[in-house]
Chains A and B, each alone.
Chain A
Amino acid sequence: MNRPATSSPAESPTLADAKPDLGAVRQKSTWSNLKYFARRDLISTSAAILVALLVLVAIFGKWIAPYSAGAQDAMRLLSPERAYPFGTDNYGRDVYSRVILGTRVSLVVGLICVPIGLFVGGGLGLLAGFIGGKFDMVVMRLMDILFGFPSLILAILIAAVLGASLTNAMIAIGIVIIPIFARTARGPVLSVMQREYIESARVVGASRPSLLFRHILPNVATPLIIQATLSFSAAMLDEAALSFLGLGAQPPTPSWGAMLGDARAYFEIAPWMAIFPGVAIALAVLSLNLLGDGLRDYFDPRTRSRL
């Protein structure tokens, strides 16, 4: 991952404090950098490996899964056995194949929702902090309103209005995560705007776009990237919740949340229908969160020194 923030000539005081250390790390090769990271933070590293595995499964799932997601060929409600390691569901579909194929659905949700939040929310926050005044107030009050709703309730509302489909669920989740990005972007912008180097840039006649994109954006990119990792797992979890409620992926799309929803009625007679997608959701969300935490610790100079 790039760390353009550290290449800036001037830093906020906290970043400046840690500068010598950051510089030292940067001089090493990427590989030794990684090794350093791995040694110092085992948990984040295992999380990163798990995330990499998830990505691989998502990409190659079609070839890994023994059956297609919709194939209803097996006996129904079979408990886990050699041919069906995770058992079969009420239609006689292989739960193992569906969990594997569901990985892609979950990751795609993250890959689509997070950019919506990042670009719309991050952009609004950036502009709000940069322009200030009435624009800032209007935008941030709007964000406060969005923030005021519990995110899942808001997502349910939007998905219900748009109609139940995976696309609409993704739009809903994208909208729901906008305010967090706006806030994450605006704070650092306000603090960076006070720095001398911005003032100097102004004095030498830097245009407003150049000020924004060349001098300010690089300094707020790191928190946004970390927020993106954390929102990625939140988006996956929200999708699972919406699909569980029937507002997300439509059958027979193998969404983990929808699989959990279907399993409810069979929980007592076929618990495997719920356990495996449940474990998949937990693992994916946990590993993304841990990775996000690790990245934050790595990039944040205050905790960096402890690594």
Chain B
Amino acid sequence: MATRSGGAAKKRAEPDDELAAEIKQRAQKYRRAKEGAGGKVRSKKEAAAVGHARRRREEAAEAAARSEVLLTEQAGFLEAEGMERTYKFTQKQIADNVDIGSASRIFDLQLGEFGPYAIDYSGDGRHLLLGGRKGHLATVDWRNARLGCELHVRETVRSVCWLHNQTLFAAAQKKYAYIYDQSGAEVHCLRKHEEPTALGFLRHHFLLASTGMSGRVVYQDVTEGKVVGEHRSGHGPAHVLRVNPYNAVVHVGHGNGTVSLWAPQQSLPLAKLLCHKGPVQAVAVDGVHMATSGLDGRVKVWDVRALGVLHEYRTGRPAQSLDISQRGLLAAGYGPHVTVWKDALATRAGDAYMQRLLPATSVQTLRFAPYEDVLGYGHSGGVSSILVPGAGEPNFDALVANPFQTTRQRQEAEVKLLLDKLPADTIQLDPTFVGRLDPRSHAERQREQLAEGRARYAQDKADGKYRDGAVRNKTKGRNSTAKRYARKRQTNVTDLKKLQTMERMEKELRQAEAAKRPRPAHEKGALAQFYTEKARLDG
């Protein structure tokens, strides 16, 4: 009887099972990185708590997957039929086939006098900031074609960026960086940013990052004005800086073809990648991928977590600017051309998705507008905006970025953002490190450190760094006997210190192990401490 009724029940339950399986599968996106198991949980009570927490996490992921039905908007798309090719569609053709609201997103601003223009969209995509090389600064509510403020600073403007909302923006000018408010009044002159060329804002840390002709990477807290980090890259003038939104790491492109990754509290880069054979022209980052372009005419896509190259594309000329849209479209601007690739990051794309040519201009900066199917770019003749269907995230989270934000909501969001302002030292390559346990024991950590040190030492030795008396020759004028001697001494001193440290660590480790080893009977009991003392002195 059980089987009969069971069969009937099964038949009826099938759609439910399918739905449950689908939810489980969709929930994958919402499952956070696996939390470290951290070994066996000893206490029954704690094991129950851990199990409970795990179930709650799974439930939360499934609830999030189920809540997807509440997302009302569908992403845009552009599909070719028959012999058509998407990259052959012109903006006029697209404008004829979309609604009038979308068609009005296509425009060209003729601003030939003060170009080329650097641009930036505010976080909710509603406001556009223009910075003409020759000193023209303007903010626009671009969807409604409403000018916010406009001013001429009468000196070179190299880069512009919005701060946390549309009430403040920064401009990298000839000598310093400046902050202006929404009315165009100068609020601050940031003298710590000398000859800045590129700006980036870390929204959750309230840090303004810049790099410039000195090759330094400077971080300044815009809430209290403190410079929280100033690092020398050692690669000379840099012109490229982008912020990775996933972990707030700053990517700086250098003239020698490397891209270095910086955090404000570490004086050395977190990572350095040799990306191109010529100077790096542009960098674009989303959470997982980084696209770089160099004067060698390549556009390369990198996996930022594994720090390896995935694939490369070629552009007719070296790409001057790159950007990655919220839904993973890659755009490159070179000369008068703008090319957009679809599915070009995780996989290698074939043909371009869209292309546009604006004769007699050269692209300076291009940016996808957040939450819109729009790509804006500043060029020598002004600023243009084109439709790229499928670029923007259709469903915004109103508490993250709200394109329809009211003034009160903006004020409230500002307060919330300030309350949640993250300290500068929370920036790491892996942003999930916060609140994690290091499951290794102290001894294990030390052992690993030691092994690492030894390996490095061996590598250096093999490279001839410590070759006695074999200090390599330098260029003429820098090779005096005294300097050679100093160099030799320097390496030896470094060597000695390193060896001493390693020796000390080794000794400590030996002692820790000796303390753990089972003691013979005569060393136990009340007199044991004398043996411990002896062991310490011996060790």
Question: Do A and B interact with each other, yes or no?
Answer: no
Residues of A in contact with B (beta carbons under 8 Å apart):
none
